[in-house]
Amino acid sequence: MRTVEVTDHISNIVLIKVKAYAELIKLRLSALVTFSAVFGYILGDRGVSFGWSGFLGLAIGGFLISGASCAANEILERDLDKLMKRTQNRPLPQKLISLQEALWVTSLVAILGVGLLWYFTNPLTTWLGILSMVLYVFVYTPLKRVGPIAVFVGAIPGALPPLLGWTAATGAITHEALIIFGIQFIWQFPHFWAIAWVGDEDYKAAGFKLLPSGGGKDLNTAIQIMIYTLFLLPLGLLPTYFGLTGMTSGIVATVCGVLFLAQTFSLMKDCSRKSALRIMFGSFLYLPIVQIAYLLDKLP
């Protein structure tokens, strides 16, 4: 009986650690980032046979780099996370993982990610991956307490995954690569400002200054969210215009863009948390739906 209890106790400890490490690298977010990178790779691959080694190297390496970036962010913000309800239960504030453990895991994951990109893709993709980590961890993270410029800076590493995918497949930054980068770059603004609006009290408790127009949940901020969402309409048609995809995906991107834009008018009307929440969930739907449409409509 005692043996069973000891075994169960060890199993529980292992399970808690595994969950803590998954939270440290933000497993779901890193998976979404990986999807964007994979999207760029498949869209850019035009070889006679599909480059599976580069694909798998990008997917695993990109996932690890994203995980390392998220973990480093949590290490730097561990004291601030204690001040916010949405982050109080993270592994470091809860002391489920020691700081030394987190540093070792983050370093190992980052080195493995960079190594996989270097070995299975190409130097350009690897350096872009490193740039993404540096911008996210050492520029975006500290700027969050400075002002809304952090959102602009953070949108760069946030939009790099599809570009990494394209360069992993082609070895070059082309106008098509810049188009898929641009779509995800502009999408970051309504997406993140909606999140910042919904979590405004939490963010302010930690001293984060992320909303535009002086940080107010007001009409000026709502208008800026609307303007950036409006930009997605012409941007969404560029892959079709340049012959990267067909007309069907252009129609899907336009319909999704119009529906996304319509949600911003409600926010402009009532400036409510409920309307911001709709935009936030709308942004979660917009990007994967449009990217999947591009892949299904990819021209040979």
Percent of the chain with pLDDT over 70: 96
- pLDDT score recorded for residue 285: 96
Taking the C-alpha atoms of residue 155 and residue 299, their distance in angstroms, rounded to an integer, is 28
Which pLDDT score is estimated for 4?
Answer: 61
CA distance 73 to 131: 15
- Confidence grade of residue 9 (pLDDT, cut at 50, 70, 90): low
Tokens of 223: 């208008």
Tally the C-alpha atoms within 13 A of residue 261's C-alpha that lie toward its C-beta: 15
Q: What is the mean pLDDT of the chain?
A: 93
CA distances for 138 relative to 150, 157, 158, angstroms: 11, 12, 14
Say what the pLDDT of residue 170 is: 95
pLDDT(7) > 80: no
Name the β-bridge partners of 245.
298
- Structural contact between residues 182 and 174, judged by C-beta atoms closer than 8 angstroms: no
Tens-place pLDDT, residues 149-204: 999 999 999 999 999 999 999 999 999 999 999 999 999 999 999 999 999 999 99
> Residue 16: pLDDT band by 50, 70, 90 thresholds?
confident
Backbone phi and psi for residue 179, each to the nearest 5 degrees, phi listed first: -65, -50
CATH H superfamily, domain 1-173: UbiA prenyltransferase (1.10.357.140)
| 144 three-state secondary structure | coil
Residue 44 pLDDT exceeds 60: yes
The CA distance from 46 to 49, in Å, is 8
Phi, psi of 245 (to 5 degrees): -135, 175
> In this structure, are residues 294 and 245 in contact, taking their beta carbons and an 8 Å threshold?
yes
Q: What are phi and psi of 226, to 5 degrees?
A: -65, -45
Kindly state the average pLDDT of the residues 55-71. Answer: 97
pLDDT, tens digit (0-9, with 9 covering 90-100), for 125-134: 999 999 999 9
pLDDT tens digits for 202-249?
A: 999 999 989 997 778 999 999 999 999 999 999 999 999 999 999 999
Under DSSP, the state recorded for 140 is I
* Residue 226 CA, distance from chain mean position: 21
Cβ atoms of 242 and 178 closer than 8 Å: no
Residue type, 182: G
Q: Kindly tell me if the per-residue pLDDT of 144 is higher than 90.
A: yes
Each residue of 232-242: pLDDT tens digit? 999 999 999 99
Of 252 and 18, the one with more pLDDT:
252
Phi/psi of residue 51, each to 5°?
A: -80, 85
Q: How confident is the model at residue 49, as a pLDDT?
A: 75
Separation of CA 277 from chain center? 18
Length of the chain in residues, anyone? 300
pLDDT tens digits, residue range 264-291? 999 999 999 999 999 999 999 999 999 9
- Per-residue confidence (pLDDT) for residue 12, from 0 to 100: 75
**Cβ neighbours of 94 (radius 10 Å):** 13
Looking at residue 214, its pLDDT comes to 77
Q: Which one, of 141, 143, 183, 192, lies nearest residue 161 by Cα?
A: 183
Predicted local distance difference test score (pLDDT) of residue 5: 62
Mean pLDDT of 45-56: 86
What is the DSSP secondary structure assignment for residue 25, as one 8-state letter? Answer: T
